[in-house]
Structure 1
Amino acid sequence: MGKIVTFGEIMLRLAPEGYYRFVQASTLGATYGGGEANVAVSLSNYGMDAAFVTKLPKHEIGQAAINELRRYGVDTSMITRGGDRVGIYFLEKGASQRPSKVIYDRAGSAIAKAESADFDWNKIFEGVEWFHFTGITPALGDNVAQICLEACKAAKSKGITVSCDLNYRKNLWTREKAGQVMAGLMEYVDVCIANEEDASDVFGIKADNTDVTTGKVNHEGYKDVARKLADQFGFKKVAITLRGSISANDNNWAAMLYTDGEYFFSKNYLIHIVDRVGGGDSFGAGLIYACMNGCSAQDTIEFAVAASCLKHTIEGDLNQVSVDEVKKLAGGDGSGRVQR
């Protein structure tokens, strides 16, 4: 089984305990996470050979981020050291009708100031089968977008499968800039991953009869979205998560996979959320794992959705589950009964 490389930013997460608001909290808990790092940890937990690539400062906070990845078996040997700071994000968990809130403090982070010379992609991609990044990474700056492009070109030249989670973040760039930059990257992408809003935010491709603010998600409308994405960019696979938001605590959760002209829908889960952050990353990791292990299209989307469903029950960015636990849920055992 080949190696997977993910590239992006790992951040320090600071959050009040439980459901305290920022203005209430007298202490903040510190953990680490970030889109591509979360994917690498999930894959490593599944027994895959996963490496995470980024740039981190040489000081102790940078080292703490690396140590967090190492404890899950992620290969950190290709991480470049330098720069002055680790990006931070503050998380206030929502409850009921009060949404969660994220405040970024990541400007000037080591990866945001990285240069092309920091990464030798020919060396990084030795023995690699799959490369993954998200739309968050090129949003960090024109320099990082250029590095992403160089990585994608190097991956394609070596026959490596490339996946991208569109992951639009309005706090990082505009829809117009996202569309321009991401379009240039998509010609190198084989597998596109998106949530129910990304295709509209980044490329203006909308699903009919859908209103995510009311929790109304028309599954049939996303067939057209997936087909248009594949036709426009030549993707081999398009996976779209379908979140029906009932409240901050309760969501309907499902997904669709489009491949070889066919559509595959997962079962739907009604999930009671412990921590939503990292839900999309755990879906992406589940999709990559299933694809690399030769699962059928239906089994692939069922595994990815079950993996993400379980992540919503776990505190922190990282999905702390095993392949067996995911397969058990995907197979229909969602009772939550005590395992003795």
Structure 2
Amino acid sequence: MDNQLYSDHKKGAVLSFGELLLRIVPDAAGEWLNDNQLPFYLGGAELNVASALALWDVPSKYFTALPDNGMSAQIISYLNQRKIDTSAVHYHGHRVGLYYLTKGKDLKHDALIYDRANSAFAELKAGMIDWDTVLKNVSWFHFSAICPAISQQVADVCSEALQAAAERGITISVDLNYRSKLWQYGQHPKDVMPDLVKYCDVIMGNIWAAEQMLGIEVLGNIHESGQKSIYLKEALSSSERIMAQYPKCKAVANTFRFDATGDIDYYTALYYNGEFHNSTEYHTTEFVAKVGTGDCFMAGLIYGFYNEWKPRQTLEFATAAAFKKLFIASDATTDTAGEIANSIQV
């Protein structure tokens, strides 16, 4: 790799910026009512990335907002044990955000219920954070589109953080996560995301998220085609248009996960340095949890770029990492880099 993403500044930590959430997991049959217990997992899209990178021995720093209480102290101790630098965490407010997701279900429809209003992160405002301290020794800043979907004031904090990171020459990545149950404050993603994405060096998502958030139209009637070659052709076209619209962008990644029949087909693509790469396709008829697969793919991309791997090697690692995440119950991967590398299919 030609080091484009790391220009002239020394590598430091990867800072993941976003809301820490507790995922509560009721079973579909309602047995949790008889058992008097609800399983939970510690998560949040950006924390999932931070957790994977720390596990893979990349210096991993995490920014979120938490209330200053005993439960937060326990959470921070847990993260520190997993080699995540929590020195940037901002303490204020009164609660941690929650969401409920029925066991085995995807992040859509009635299986998902958010309980995030008035959380410490949701109450962040521009001007609260000392970015000199937060961004000290940081060379990569990662966030997702979930953050600016929370509220206008959180979107303003995202903008402030991105400006500060860009001014310091920090590499910036975004995951175009689209959550239809967010974006409830009167703004459409296309009103907000372009002004944030203009700071990004790496943009990850899929062709439909790029259309929804950036106005990069999906051309033609391909939505029900089911043809891999057509989807990849559209991914190349979308990537080229994204890079034309956002000159700072150096890499665009697309994921494709199809699971309408119960089986899961998964493959990805990466456009970088004028070259388009697509991954091995993976297939499974069984899985444990779909949550966090995209976060694991994003972490894999950062891991490859951070270690200056060739684009194809980076893509195959990230794809294998995401696919293996389907068989892990927790929000973040528990697979080591070595285990992922050994699972890559070629």
**1:115 to partner: Cα distance:** 2.1
Is 1:80 aligned with 2:94?
no
Change (3 A) 1:52 1:183: same
Which is further off, 119-128 or 198-207?
Answer: 198-207
Is 1:306 aligned with 2:317?
no
State whether residues 167 and 195 of structure 1, in contact with CA within 8 Å, keep that contact through their aligned partners in structure 2: no
Is 1:211 aligned with 2:211?
no
SS at match of 1:254: strand
**1:144 to partner: Cα distance:** 1.0
Change (3 A) 1:292 1:112: same
Q: Which amino acid aligns with 2:339?
A: E
SS at match of 1:140: coil
- Matching residue within 60, 65, 76 for 1:66: 76
Question: What is residue 157 of structure 2 aligned with on the other side?
Answer: 147
- Matching residue within 261, 267, 270 for 1:257: 270
Change (3 A) 1:216 1:92: farther
Question: What is residue 255 of structure 2 aligned with on the other side?
Answer: 241
Aligned-partner Cα distance in 1 for 2:138–2:68:
26
Aligned-partner Cα distance in 2 for 1:203–1:83:
32
**1:197 to partner: Cα distance:** 2.4
Aligned-partner Cα distance in 2 for 1:285–1:240:
14
Change (3 A) 1:191 1:90: same
- Matching residue within 215, 225, 232 for 2:245: 232
Aligned-partner Cα distance in 1 for 2:28–2:253:
34
Root-mean-square deviation (CA, aligned residues, Å) is: 2.2
SS at match of 1:310: helix
Q: Taking structure 2 as the reference length, what is the TM-score of the superposition?
A: 0.88
Aligned residues between the structures: 326
SS at match of 1:247: coil
- Matching residue within 191, 204, 216 for 1:180: 191
Question: What is residue 332 of structure 2 aligned with on the other side?
Answer: 318
- Matching residue within 126, 130, 133 for 2:143: 133
Structure 2: give runs of 5+ residues left out of the alignment. 1-10
Q: How does 1:23-34 map to 2 (within 5 A)?
A: 23-26=30-33, 27-34=37-44
Question: What is residue 337 of structure 1 aligned with on the other side?
Answer: none
Question: What is residue 28 of structure 2 aligned with on the other side?
Answer: 21
Aligned-partner Cα distance in 2 for 1:241–1:328:
21
SS at match of 2:232: coil
Change (3 A) 1:64 1:215: farther
Aligned-partner Cα distance in 1 for 2:96–2:119:
5
State whether residues 93 and 100 of structure 1, in contact with CA within 8 Å, keep that contact through their aligned partners in structure 2: no
Structure 1: give runs of 5+ residues left out of the alignment. 333-340
**1:207 to partner: Cα distance:** 5.0
Which is further off, 321-330 or 129-138?
Answer: 321-330
Aligned-partner Cα distance in 1 for 2:72–2:312:
40
Aligned-partner Cα distance in 1 for 2:212–2:105:
26
State whether residues 243 and 254 of structure 1, in contact with CA within 8 Å, keep that contact through their aligned partners in structure 2: yes
Is 1:171 aligned with 2:214?
no
Give per-residue Cα distances to partners, 1:182-215, cap 9 Å, x unaligned: 1111111110010342112212321544326x86
Which is further off, 105-114 or 86-95?
Answer: 86-95
Question: What is residue 202 of structure 1 aligned with on the other side?
Answer: 213
Q: How does 1:157-168 map to 2 (within 5 A)?
A: 157-168=167-178
Report % sequence identity: 35
Q: Taking structure 1 as the reference length, what is the TM-score of the superposition?
A: 0.90
State whether residues 61 and 86 of structure 1, in contact with CA within 8 Å, keep that contact through their aligned partners in structure 2: no
Is 1:288 aligned with 2:288?
no
Aligned-partner Cα distance in 1 for 2:204–2:282:
19
Aligned-partner Cα distance in 2 for 1:276–1:298:
24
Question: What is residue 8 of structure 2 aligned with on the other side?
Answer: none
State whether residues 88 and 106 of structure 1, in contact with CA within 8 Å, keep that contact through their aligned partners in structure 2: yes
